[in-house]
Amino acid sequence: MDSQIKKIHQQLVSKQISCTALVQEKLDLLKQNEYNSVNSTLDSMALELAAKVDAKIAKGESIGLLEGIPFGIKDVYMVQGTYTTASSELLKNYKAPYTATAIQKLLDAGAIPLVKENCDSFGHGSSSENTIFGAVKNAINPELVGGGSSGGSAVNVAKEYTVFSIGGDTGGSIRQPAGYNHIYGLKPSYGRISRYGLMAYASSTDCVGPLAKSIEDIRIVLNVMSGKDPKDQTSVASSEITEEALANSSVKTIGYFKNFIDSEAIDAQIKADFLAAIEKIKAKGIEVKELDFFKSDILVSTYYTLAMAETASNLSRLDGTNYGNRIEGENLIDSYAVTRSENFSEETKRRIVGGNQVLSQGFSDEIYLKGLALRDQISENFSKDFEEVDIVLSPVTPSTPPKIGDSLKDPLAMYLSDAYTVGFSLGQLPTLTVPQGTSTGLQITAAKNNDELVMQFANFLKDIL
């Protein structure tokens, strides 16, 4: 699909459509939708901004490429004055006092926020069922999950309720729902986009990223959000990725992890489709190498050990004193306990308890420090791989989306659905889901800070698969 941003920009400039009519149409679609992808709509803000765009056009003034383009925001980002719930009972009435840097950059570029989008509570889940707003339904088959945790964001893009959406990816939370709903979803290199104003889940792997229906729209939005932010010391400066740079692929060699494909857990059709895609790539003269990697169960256990530890630490501030829905108990300690027990979902409590166990005296050396050591080994392994190949290609998921309700019955199976995404998160690498190759797409990964190469190869795959 061609760029929707450029198409709408031309329609606005040529006065084929008005921005107010466009925004109202999208708001109506969001309110009528039956996919549970919406937590709240931002009507007054969106219509006020749209009127300003229409006024500029009426005066003959030029507008920027993103000016007047409607977009959605996963409900874990601060947007000043709006409900910012993280799809949780604890924060269901919480209004943000400031705006996240990534979202502010989009606002400064003139993009129009329409909606705070449904997701797994605090990003805890792989199906977007752990939410007080009801399970997000898959855009292709509503009996299936939308994927998580950025499920609402993926569905809104797939159904064209928004032109693009901003998700958050920790262990695969953009890439997996993008695959389940047949759109593009990018987890950029860690630090490329400021995390300031994103509710922290696991700080060492949290990333801000876009979901859209074309590579060009991903590129446009990524460029606007990228850059060093003095409010986030982990953020880094980066170069703009130009449209011309994506026109021709410089990739000569790709690799894939043999143990991912030989795993007993992979769906037979996904395996067959992936190997067929590899053959088409070979036919274009690109060398393909098989790579060795950690077993997927080691990746999953390492990721969840560290992520749960960081979750327990990050969410310790949510005790009803400064944030959220406080429930009074018999004394202060009882108030903390009741507030957290009643307001957190079962999945969030599971992760907090697991994280506190990992960090507790007597276990931290045995579990947490071992997890950190494994993460270093995983990063070293990636460094060696990218001395041999330009790109690593992999399925996004080992299986197709489950039916709504199945993941809640089996948390372990839900964790294992992240088996092919969490390793790249631990390596802090740029990874893009493309809606080609298998029924849940393909995942393109490059060495850290090579986001341009990832998108370049995605552009190449678009034409051959």
Read off φ and ψ for residue 187, nearest 5 degrees. -100, 105
173 is catalytic: yes
Instruction: Give me the catalytic one of 74, 105, 187, 448.
Output: 74
Q: By the 8 A CB rule, do 189 and 235 touch?
A: no
Burial of 204: CB neighbours in 10 Å, binned 0-12, 13-18, 19+: middle
Instruction: Give me the catalytic one of 87, 126, 127, 149.
Output: 149
Please name every residue paired with 289 in a beta bridge, in sequence order, or none if there are none: 255
Find the farthest-apart pair of alpha carbons in the chain and give their distance in angstroms, rounded. 72
- Strand 164-169 and strand 70-74: the pairing is parallel
The span from the first CA to the last CA of the chain, in angstroms, equals 14
How far apart are the C-alpha atoms of 462 and 128, rounded to whole Å? 28
Q: Which two tokens stand for residue 292?
A: 């060795």
How far apart are the C-alpha atoms of 77 and 83, rounded to whole Å? 10
How far apart are the C-alpha atoms of 96 and 98, rounded to whole Å? 6
How far apart are the C-alpha atoms of 96 and 93, rounded to whole Å? 10
Q: By the 8 A CB rule, do 284 and 463 touch?
A: no
Instruction: Give me the catalytic one of 127, 173, 226, 345.
Output: 173
74 is catalytic: yes
Q: By the 8 A CB rule, do 148 and 209 touch?
A: no
How far apart are the C-alpha atoms of 64 and 6, rounded to whole Å? 10
Please give the single-letter amino acid code of residue 230.
P
How far apart are the C-alpha atoms of 314 and 309, rounded to whole Å? 9
CA gyration radius for the chain? 21
Q: From the DSSP assignment, how many helices (H) and strands (E) are in the chain?
A: 17, 11
370 is catalytic: no
Alpha carbons within 13 angstroms on the beta-carbon side of residue 96 total: 20
Helix-helix angle 19-32:4-13, to 10 degrees: 140
How far apart are the C-alpha atoms of 77 and 195, rounded to whole Å? 9
Read off φ and ψ for residue 115, nearest 5 degrees. -155, 145
- Strand 164-169 and strand 184-187: the pairing is unpaired
Alpha helix positions (H), 205-345: 215-225, 258-262, 268-283, 296-314, 332-343
Name the DSSP class of 402: P
What is the set of active-site residues? 74, 149, 173
